[in-house]
Amino acid sequence: MWIEPNELPVNKVQYLDENGKLTNGAPEVSDDELIAMYKWMVQARVFDQRALKFQRQGRIGTYAPLSGQEAAQVGSAFALERQDWIYPSYREGAALFVHGFPMKNFFLYTMGHLKGTDAEGANVFPVQIIIGAQCLHAVGGAWAGKYQGENSVSVTYIGDGGTSEGDFHEALNFAGVYKLPMVFFVQNNQWAISVPRSKQTASGTIAQKAVAHGITGIQVDGNDVLAVYTTMKQALERARSGQPVLVEAVTYRQGPHTTADDPTKYRNKSDVDEWLAKDPLKRIKAFLLDKGIWNEELEQREFALAEQKVTEAFELAANTPKSKVEDIFEIVYEKKTSQLTEQQQSVSSEGVLK
């Protein structure tokens, strides 16, 4: 029997429509959890807006904005247990903050400071710039966790464009073969830099790519934080039992790919406006207002608090002494090798090798 492309039925999980109205019953999420997730989304939006301004002012380096993807990141990270691990790409600031990564250190990372890789106790691997490489790192971590009998899940984040990389498919294949505690979280934000999803892959959905590798796949409305959180809780439960999962969160990148990009050269304003109407913050805020557990006074207070936290984190980063070349040798291995010691000693006071 022929297996025809895109014949697999994939139903997108959704609880809240664009107006914040329930479409599929109410998930088991407490009011406190709802408010906590919204606060993290507010913090992420404020951080993103400020970081973009800092870059334009020359105060940080190249930055990859995340606005529009707050529900996907916060909802998924909020479901994690403390022992779980995140293997991020370069656009996962919100997820990292929820899982305990210091905002100050994220700013240090954007400034090229070595302390920017220090998670300070949070189970977060350094940001990965090479597209798809973090998937293989996550597989290695999941395999190690399984070997050592840990009850942890490795979660890797990747964009829709990254799913065309060989590293992504190698990682899925490995996870499927060895039944690793893995969740591959794909943020399908519709654009692989300037390449639209329609030209990036012919697959009907990204979720169905899981089938070829013998693992479970699911598609979720990535702008619906309730759907993302609930789906991620289920995915983590499966992963802990040795069933790796691929989650496709359908969302949208509201800003540029990075601050080196101009999206107006390849995106139509009408398309952008259509997705702005689906903004994840507006959706969950409307739901909270309808439930009577949020109001405009709380809204103003939360945005002000978020601004204050970003300012404090940036000032701490800006006032941190710059890294020295010789410091690089201290963070390669837990215990420095004799070769590294020799290299470190050969660094001159000008910061170059003799």
Residue pLDDT, tens place only, 315-349:
999 999 998 888 888 888 989 999 998 888 888 65
Rounded to 10 degrees, the C-alpha dihedral 276/280/286/291 comes to: 170
- Res 229: pLDDT: 98
For residue 352, pLDDT over 70 is answered with no
Per DSSP, helices labelled H in the chain are: 31-56, 70-78, 93-98, 103-110, 133-147, 166-178, 197-200, 225-240, 269-276, 280-291, 296-318, 338-345
139 pLDDT band, cuts 50/70/90, is very high
4 pLDDT band, cuts 50/70/90, is confident
Say how many C-beta atoms besides its own lie within 10 A of residue 237's C-beta. 13
313 pLDDT band, cuts 50/70/90, is very high
Give the active site residue among 50, 113, 253, 283: 253
For residue 353, pLDDT over 60 is answered with no
| CA atoms 252, 254, 259, 263: torsion sign | positive
For residue 350, pLDDT over 70 is answered with no
DSSP 8-state class, residue 6: T
The residue count of the chain comes to: 354
Share of residues in the chain with pLDDT > 70 (%) = 98
220 pLDDT band, cuts 50/70/90, is very high
Asked: is 31-320 a CATH 3.40.50.970 domain? The reply is yes
Rounded-to-integer distance, Cα 88 and Cα 187, Å: 11
| Residue 89: partners with Cβ closer than 8 Å, 6 or more residues away | 127, 128, 129, 131, 134, 157, 158, 159, 162
- Res 1: pLDDT: 81
Listed residue (261, 227, 165, 275) closest to 24, CA to CA: 227
149 pLDDT band, cuts 50/70/90, is very high
Share of residues in the chain with pLDDT > 90 (%) = 88
311 pLDDT band, cuts 50/70/90, is very high
Q: Which two tokens stand for residue 333?
A: 């291995």
| Average pLDDT of the segment spanning 309-315 | 98
| Average pLDDT of the segment spanning 48-76 | 97
Domain ranges of the chain: 31-320, 324-354
For residue 3, pLDDT over 90 is answered with no
Catalytic residue list contains 197: no
Listed residue (206, 326, 337, 193) closest to 265, CA to CA: 193
Catalytic residue list contains 238: no
Catalytic residue list contains 109: no
Give the active site residue among 266, 267, 283, 301: 266
Report the phi/psi class of residue 242: left, alpha or beta, with left for phi > 0 and alpha for psi in -120 to 50: left
Residue pLDDT, tens place only, 102-121:
999 999 999 999 999 999 99
Give the active site residue among 99, 113, 137, 257: 257
For residue 354, pLDDT over 70 is answered with no
For the chain, give the mean pLDDT: 95
Listed residue (272, 274, 261, 109) closest to 192, CA to CA: 261
- Res 58: pLDDT: 97
The pTM score is 0.95
